[in-house]
Each structure stands twice: as structure tokens, then as C-alpha cells.
Amino acid sequence: MPELSWQSLQAADRAAIWHPYASAHDGPEVFPVVSASGVRLRLADGRELIDGMASWWCAIHGYNHPAMNRAVQAQLETMSHVMFGGLTHPPAVKLAQLLTSLTPASLDRVFFSDSGSVAVEVALKMALQYWYSVGNPGKQKVIALRNGYHGDTFGAMAVCDPVTGMHHLFGEMLPRHLFAPAPNCAFDGPCPDSEMVAITDLLSQHHREVAAVIVEPVVQGAGGMRFYSPDYLVKLRALCDAFDVLLIFDEIATGFGRTGKLFALQHAAVEPDILCLGKALTGGYMTLAATLCNQRISRGISDGEAGAFMHGPTFMGNPLACATAIASIELLLSQPWQRQVANLNKALGEGLAPAAELPAVAQVRTLGAIGVIELEEPVDMQTVQPMFVERGVWVRPFGKLVYAMPPYVMGTEDVAALTAAMVDVVAQL
């Protein structure tokens, strides 16, 4: 590429790149970023944007963090990758120890993979292979929630909300699962038994064919940014036990402090059988995910017909990614992250509050380091995205949702600027 000018980058991008959830030919403008540091993205024309997205939940420490950079460099000079079949290495061992010590005690086995979607694939395969292995091969369906989001590969996509996930586009290739209504009980309130009626009916009718229930605990992320009562999870665990169905928690978005607890499941003190982690696992530096399970699953599968779990990505347990994840988790735990998240919660709440009065706004809500303005109508990205950039912030709405989940290190003044820009843009709609 001859030069890194704004125009040449955009033109070369437009000629060859397909962006996520975008048209290849008439997509909206993309903005060239040339570097990032702290909570700021630097564009090719020199402008800086306050990053309200943490690169989709990931960059919890901000960008270009010295401690993170050191960890990557040290591992790079030691060993960047080695195959994981038949070999192991210190970064994977240490990361697995960290993850099993931080998550519920029953989850004592870690399966590494490359991305969140694959961690969900692994979870679903674990659930199915478990039931096959223990002599119950009829249990092949999954119950998922409306408004859920679990990733973009086929297995993961099949448990996403069927409407927003546009399941009809993929026809017969997509397995048909069962969907329960999204929980409709506020985060800070109880979950009345009436909330559980539909999913109880599904379980009582179908439990013989249901392998697992999969949910995003407490926060439904990309499927609607909805928050719900932890009490729902307590009741769901009891139901799964009663109907002998496994419970999968997808904490790919909520993990590592975003909701105010290290893991969202801690709001309810509920232990799933399988737990998916990703996104903030490496502090946004590298792609890595993990699926944890309890001994019921690991023994069931290992003592079964195959004697092995039938999965093994090429880049499984990549040492560079594992070392980065260790550094990110140690950095997080060495900081007063609960206070940072609580401060962010307060600042997001105060900054977004004026939006509640605006005609275009249906609701303003916050939880942990997440702030959401839900609009009455979907936004037009083509017009709205440049409005944020002009105001010096990076916010990427989807549908009716204008939301922020900043890096935990964002200072009060930057949060104020970020939220002011969000309110201002929404006021123009």
C-alpha cells in the first residue's frame, strides 16, 4: 500500500474488504484507525475518538497498555505458537489454573478455542456428546432464549434469536431448537414464578429431547442489551436439575467484570454445567476463548464411546494469546476494578439521564459498565455513525440501541464527553 492516507485506506478497503454485518458494495463509510492508546482511537487524519465500545466488550484496560505490551513481547520472544495435541506449555497451564480458580468450584476443566462462537460450538458439542456418551442419544435439542446472541457459526447461530438472527436465510442447514421468551424481570427485582411458566412448559414437554438450556446470564448482549433478574438464573438452575437438562452460561460478553461482578453468574451464585468465556479474556489484544465444564461432563464424555471429546482447533491454547490473557486477568485483579466499574456506572447513568426526556427515546438503562439508550425506532447507521465521529466519540449503535461499554480505565471527564455526545446525537434524531 503506497500511503496510509484516509482516502487511500478507504478506497483500498472499499475495493477488497467485506465488513461485519455490512454490504460488500454499498456499505456505510468505514473510518480508518491508525493507532490506539488508552481510551482513544486515532484516525488517519489525526482526529482522536473517545472509545465507547471497548472494541465490542474486549478492551477493558484500554489500548496499548504497557503491562499488556510487555507480556505479549515476553511471550513472543519465548514461543508464539506450538500445537496443543500431545503438547502443553506454561501459559496454557497457568491460564487454566487462573480460570478454574476464579469461576465456580465445580467448573474444573478448560477447553481452549479461538473465538467466542467456537467456544459456544464447543459447549453445544460437549452437551450433545455428553448425553450420547451416557446412553441418552435422544437429547439433541437446545432451549435458548428469545433476544439471545451466542455467535455467528452454525451451531451458535442456531441458538441466537431466530428473528434478529434471520434464521430463515439458512434453511435446512440450521438445526431447529426451542425458544423460551426473554426474561422480563428487572435486574434489581425478583423473578416471579410467572416468568418461568413458558420455559417450564417447554421443559416438561420436551425434556426427553433437550440436552441443555443456554443463556447469557443477567445481560442479553447483542440480541437487545436487556438486563434481567439474577433470580431467574436460580430458578432456571432448579428447573434444569428437575428435568435433568444441562445448563450452559455464555459469559463471553459479561465475563471479566463488565456487570460489576467478575462473572455475571456471581449475581446469582449459580453454577452452570458449562461456561463460555471470550471477548475480554485477553483484554482485547488477541482472539481467544475458553469453555469450562464440570466433572459430570468431562467424565461422561471421557468414559463414553469415543473416549475423547471430538474437537481440536489448530490454534488451540495459542501461547501468545494465553500469556496475554494471564496478563489481562492479573492486571484486572491488581486494580480496584469494582470501584472503576461502579464509577463508570454512576457516570454513565448521570450522563445518559437527559436522554430519557427525549421524544425518540424509549428507555435509558445502565448496569455495571454498560449504558444503553433504547430508541423507539431503529437508527440509520449511514447518517448516525458520522455524527458520533464528528463529536469525537466512537459509538456503534445497532437497531434501536445506542449504547456504550467503555474500557474500565475511562476517566469521569471522558465518560461525560462520551455520554454528552450520545445524548446530543439522539436529540437530533
Grid cell at residue 55: 472494541
Decide whether 44 or 212 has the Cβ nearer to ligand PLP.
Answer: 212
Grid cell at residue 333: 485483579
Smallest gap, in angstroms, from Cβ of residue 113 to ligand PLP? Answer: 9
**Is 403 tagged catalytic?**
no
- Nearest-CA neighbor of 419 among 28, 4, 52, 22? 52
Smallest gap, in angstroms, from Cβ of residue 253 to ligand PLP? Answer: 3
Rounded-to-integer distance, Cα 379 and Cα 377, Å: 6
Smallest gap, in angstroms, from Cβ of residue 384 to ligand PLP? Answer: 22
In eight-state DSSP terms, residue 54 is H
Contacts of 55 (CB under 8 A, 6+ apart): 284
Decide whether 52 or 300 has the Cβ nearer to ligand PLP.
Answer: 52
**DSSP string for 136-189:** -TT--EEEEETT----SSHHHHTTS-TTTTTGGGGGGGSPP-EEEPPP-S-TTS
Interface positions with ligand PLP (CB under 6 A):
115-117, 120, 149-151, 216, 221-222, 250, 252-253, 278-279
Closest residue to ligand PLP: CB criterion: 116
Q: Strand 274-277 vs strand 289-293: parallel, antiparallel, or unpaired?
A: antiparallel
Strand ranges (DSSP E) for 257-331?
A: 274-277, 289-293
- Burial class (CB within 10 angstroms; exposed 0-12, middle 13-18, buried 19+) of 303: exposed
Smallest gap, in angstroms, from Cβ of residue 153 to ligand PLP? Answer: 7
In eight-state DSSP terms, residue 28 is P
Decide whether 115 or 345 has the Cβ nearer to ligand PLP.
Answer: 115
Decide whether 268 or 417 has the Cβ nearer to ligand PLP.
Answer: 268
Decide whether 141 or 150 has the Cβ nearer to ligand PLP.
Answer: 150
Decide whether 175 or 304 has the Cβ nearer to ligand PLP.
Answer: 175
**Is 250 tagged catalytic?**
yes
How far is CA 54 from its chain centroid? 12
| Catalytic option among 63, 130, 132, 149 | 149
Smallest gap, in angstroms, from Cβ of residue 378 to ligand PLP? Answer: 20
Grid cell at residue 408: 474500565
Residues for the chain: how many in total? 429
**Is 149 tagged catalytic?**
yes
Smallest gap, in angstroms, from Cβ of residue 119 to ligand PLP? Answer: 7
| Catalytic option among 279, 285, 408, 414 | 279
**Is 279 tagged catalytic?**
yes
Contacts of 38 (CB under 8 A, 6+ apart): 62, 63, 64, 407, 409
Residues that are catalytic: 21, 149, 250, 279
